[in-house]
Structure 1
């Protein structure tokens, strides 16, 4: 049984410099504008029989802006950043440089008291592995960029540090396919 899972990265909720760990801010004006402008192209995603989303405000609003009405899935939440939640990387680096270095170097490390990168990737992968066969109807998930990155690392069985080398743009679509129990990346034109 095959599964085709399309991952739609949420529209933006802030500029890159203002991005905060485990941020649950809604779409900003630019994010709404981008979603509305992309709607004619992305409306085809509504054909997916099963539509899911990360539980964040920006994923909900991205789904709403595109008319997708996806169902919230707790397993698709962004990485739990513990006491770093709501802070920028710059703020945390200034306050805890060694902890940030450990977190970036060791995928099992969780100096913030939240979830390690490895646990995050495993959680997202576990959710993917429980998706039912779609028989061609397709599955869609509107997700945080971090969730899309974790899904790619899991699907490709890449080393965890690969997570830091994947750049996911707002409103980009990534397609993963599971055949005979093995995930792969589908590049469609």
Structure 2
């Protein structure tokens, strides 16, 4: 018995350089267009027995636009950035350069007052490890940060690997396995 979880990155809610920490913005026009463009490839994922999403507006909107009717999962919420919430990386770097350096280099640090990277990865990994495992298919629409955390956890990679994973809007990745024993499954796509 194994679980197969396909993670779908939410469509964009802003231009990449305008992305903000813990951003609650809904889909923008470009994001809605992107969903329409790739829907033919992603809609079949809605046949999964379990359909989840991050509680963010753009994750919910992406899942609903794809017809998934996903159930919001608090454990799939974005990384808690404390007082940096709503700011861009550029804004935070200009105000607190030493704090940003610490945050980028030490996964146990939380100079922003929110979650440490280790806590974030552990939260997302804990969610993966508590899914039903009766040869079930699941799909989850989530923020890119959540997908990066899931991959680091599933592959037992060092936390620093988080910074080397690029998750684009509406990209997918599938994890298969059992709690604590995950594999990355890459498949030929039709997009």
Q: Deviations over 1:94-145 (max 9, x none)?
A: 000000000000000000000011100000000000000142x400100000
TM-score relative to the length of structure 2 = 0.96
SS at match of 1:138: strand
SS at match of 1:102: helix
Residue correspondences, number:
188
Q: Which residue of 1 aligns with 2:158?
A: 159
> Residue 9 of structure 1 contacts residue 172 of structure 1 at CA under 8 Å; is this kept in 2?
yes
Paired with 1:101 and 1:180, the residues of 2 have a C-alpha distance of 33
TM-score relative to the length of structure 1 = 0.97
Is the counterpart of residue 42 in structure 1 residue 42 in structure 2? yes
Structure 1 runs, 4 residues or longer, greater than 2 Å off: none
Alignment of 1:50-61 (within 5 A): 50-61=50-61
Q: Which residue of 2 aligns with 1:28?
A: 28
Return 5+ residue gaps in structure 1 as ranges.
Answer: none
Alignment of 1:58-137 (within 5 A): 58-135=58-135, 137=136
Return 5+ residue gaps in structure 2 as ranges.
Answer: none
SS at match of 1:51: strand
> Residue 133 of structure 2 contacts residue 178 of structure 2 at CA under 8 Å; is this kept in 1?
no
Paired with 1:66 and 1:36, the residues of 2 have a C-alpha distance of 8
CA RMSD of aligned residues (A): 1.0
Deviation of the 1:179 alpha carbon: 4.2
Paired with 2:8 and 2:52, the residues of 1 have a C-alpha distance of 10
